[in-house]
Structure 1
Amino acid sequence: MRQGLAADYAASMSFSPRARVHLQNIVANWRTIAALIPESEAGAVVKANAYGHGVAPVASALYEAGCRTFFVAYVEEGAELRTAIGEDASILAFNGAEPSDADLARANNITPVLNALPAIKDWLALMDVPDYAVHIDTGMNRLGVRMEDVAELKALTDGQPPVHILSHLVDSDDRSRAINAKQLERFRQAASNFPQALKSFANTGGCLMGQDYGFDVARPGIGLYGGGPPLPEGVFLKPGMTLEAPILTVQTVQPGETVGYGATYTFDTPRTLATVALGYGDGFPRSASNKGMASLGGITCPIVGRVSMDLITIDVTQARDLAKPGAFAQFIGAEVLLEEQARRAGTVGYELVTGLGHRVRRIYD
């Protein structure tokens, strides 16, 4: 699509869903989380297009606020990110890199996080070895050098040590789990072999557990965007976005009638319904059928019937005075918290926000 046509198309999308991304809320959340680990540097995880919020605007706002360490999944994501932030910022790529990625990593000053001894050997075989980090597996059994291989890792990297050592918590969503403390002890043990490397352990949940988990650089992710595990008393995070969809039609149905594909919801009293322009084609999950919710003016409006590709029907009986074609219903935001909507849909906040597609207009404030 030519640039002019693309702009015209975007300007005409008055009946499409929109996500108002609150950059100042994201910055405020970063500062709130940083205050929980005051002896550590607070980085920011901006992989997956900043969890669906838009990597360039989000990273730029965080950089202007003072953030200097960013985390992505892929080297290619890091190259995109580099165009939005200053050269003095560090970028780490969780999923590592092949030797063929070395030039891209050098050109954009990206530090790949290497996750296995063979990958580390291949990286160290390069001429003029670029900086790299190492992930230690302390219990996830997903990525990382295993604890029993740390001695071999230390010997292998003696001449060119990693600049960062990382690990990842298994269940920081539940701060009562004994595995958190067990992983902390394992990480301390493994990281002690690399005294010059910066240490990073805490995701959002780790930051909520306090300074013991902070080490040198913390890496909050979902918490920046207003989601994540239950918060400690006195800690508050703001929504990173408000997802809204316009009402297209309003109608009244009678007892015995059904709504949507498959006739999965039957009404037992007269109800007022609104059909809105949002669906699984926009990334809103079909699993929210008959379970999710919207809000009109703070009034809860349940999703009734199936979520279809482009449309959702909500029961606006309690908010009929507000339900007009062109009015926007909220699906994520201050009135419909991200994790509450995710719970209703049988998923997590991560999936809700990262799954939002290109038809959802991002509007930055």
Structure 2
Amino acid sequence: MTALLEIDLGAIAANWRQLAAMHPGETAAVLKADAYGLGAARLAPVLAKAGCKTFFTAHLDEAVALREILPTARIAALNGLFPHAAADFYEHNITPVLGSLRDIALWHAEAAGLGRPLPCMLHLEMGMNRLGLTARELETLRANPTLLDGVQVDVALTHLVAADAPDDPVNRSQAMAFYEAARQFPGAKKSLANSSGMFLGPFFHTNLARPGAALYGVNPTPAHPNPMRGVVRLTAPILQIHDVAPGETVGYSGVWRAERPSRIATLGVGYADGYHRALTNTAHAYFDDTPIPLVGRVSMDLTTFDVTDVPATPGDTLTLLGPRHGVDALATEAKTNGYEILTSLGRRFKRQYIGA
């Protein structure tokens, strides 16, 4: 009896169209981590049909796999170049996002060897301190522009530090610093907003937006109701129901003890499926419209719920993710974010794509 993960392709397409309608420039789609765990091979054609023309991955391997599905789209890999990879970027028509002088030197050498300019995007470091050209490196480029010979900078981009906190002054200061730094590349388009950044207002709207999580139903405005459609529904059948007397415990270490005669349902879902151990004694599922508390320790393959107050029987299903209890709600219970919930969803679930 296998848990069922339904992924609504129609909702994903609708989410992209909604975001594209609110952004005056081009709206891309971020498909890194196998489209946040939902299956890039199935989602990419749906987004392309909806009108998306530019796609981002994290790694080159992800981009090469996507090229097989999207032969004419612009595909960019965010994590930069590494030695001996430039030829693969060129062969598969993948745009590298260059984030260091070393990256630029590798792409420059590839362009020189081919005798033709090669397109790229430049990542400018504006406060995240992960990837990107630092102020010192930008000054080096300014002093020696020949370093960019053969390197065609199509887009300058950066990544917002606190876009999900709209009142944080770092957002505007980072945007202002980015716009000033991007003037160094007058022919390049600008890309600033991620999912949450698209909701910060017109000052953050540029030539190219890069939504990811919002496409997949994660709330890009955490302080407000979610403006996006839910995308996933996870249900699991009840394997067994045990009658538990007051004082008896459930699961490893006995971290939950019955205070009344209880009926405990066991589901074949656990932390091996991405249903995090941190959900122990905190999460809820739904039986029809009734919330059902998770009781006891989440184990590798099994999780237990208190169904005392509902007429559940073995074979009935509980909804672990759905309209009443989405990825953000489960993330709150796990003390993480919706991104981690989505990217953790396991491969043992039966996956069903709907709404195409």
TM score, norm. by length of structure 1: 0.91
User: What do the CA deviations read for 1:96-142 (whole angstroms, capped 9, x no partner)?
Assistant: 12242223222321111111112211221221253221110111111
Match of 2:29 among 26, 34, 44: 44
Q: Indicate yes or no: 2:332 matched with 1:348.
A: no
Equivalent residues of 2:118, 2:152 under 8 A apart = no
Equivalent residues of 2:219, 2:227 under 8 A apart = no
Q: Indicate yes or no: 2:260 matched with 1:274.
A: no
Equivalent residues of 1:53, 1:362 under 8 A apart = no
What is the distance in 1 between the residues matched to 2:185 and 2:149? 9
Match of 1:237 among 219, 228, 237: 228
After TM superposition, the structure 1 stretch with the greater mean CA deviation from structure 2, 27-36 or 132-141, is: 27-36
Match of 2:296 in 1: 305
What is the distance in 1 between the residues matched to 2:282 and 2:225? 30
Equivalent residues of 1:303, 1:315 under 8 A apart = yes
Match of 1:116 in 2: 100
Deviation for aligned residue 1:165: 1.0
What is the distance in 2 between the residues matched to 1:82 and 1:286? 36
Q: Indicate yes or no: 2:314 matched with 1:330.
A: no
Structure 1 segments unaligned to the other structure (5+ residues): 1-14
> For the structure 1 residues 99 and 281, does the alpha-carbon distance in structure 2 shift closer, same or farther, using more than 3 Å as the test?
same
Q: Indicate yes or no: 2:205 matched with 1:214.
A: yes
Deviation for aligned residue 1:282: 0.9
User: What do the CA deviations read for 1:66-112 (whole angstroms, capped 9, x no partner)?
Assistant: 1011010011100111122241x111101012242223222321111
User: Which amino acid letter does the alignment assign opposite residue 212 of structure 2?
Assistant: G
SS at match of 1:238: coil
SS at match of 1:61: helix
Q: How does 1:83-122 map to 2 (within 5 A)?
A: 83-87=68-72, 89-122=73-106
Deviation for aligned residue 1:235: 6.5
Match of 2:138 among 127, 140, 150: 150
Match of 1:167 in 2: 158
The percentage of counterpart residues that share the same residue type is 39
What is the distance in 2 between the residues matched to 1:33 and 1:316? 40
Structure 2 segments unaligned to the other structure (5+ residues): none
What is the distance in 1 between the residues matched to 2:316 and 2:91? 47
Give the aligned length. Answer: 347
SS at match of 1:125: helix
Match of 1:190 in 2: 181
Deviation for aligned residue 1:34: 1.9
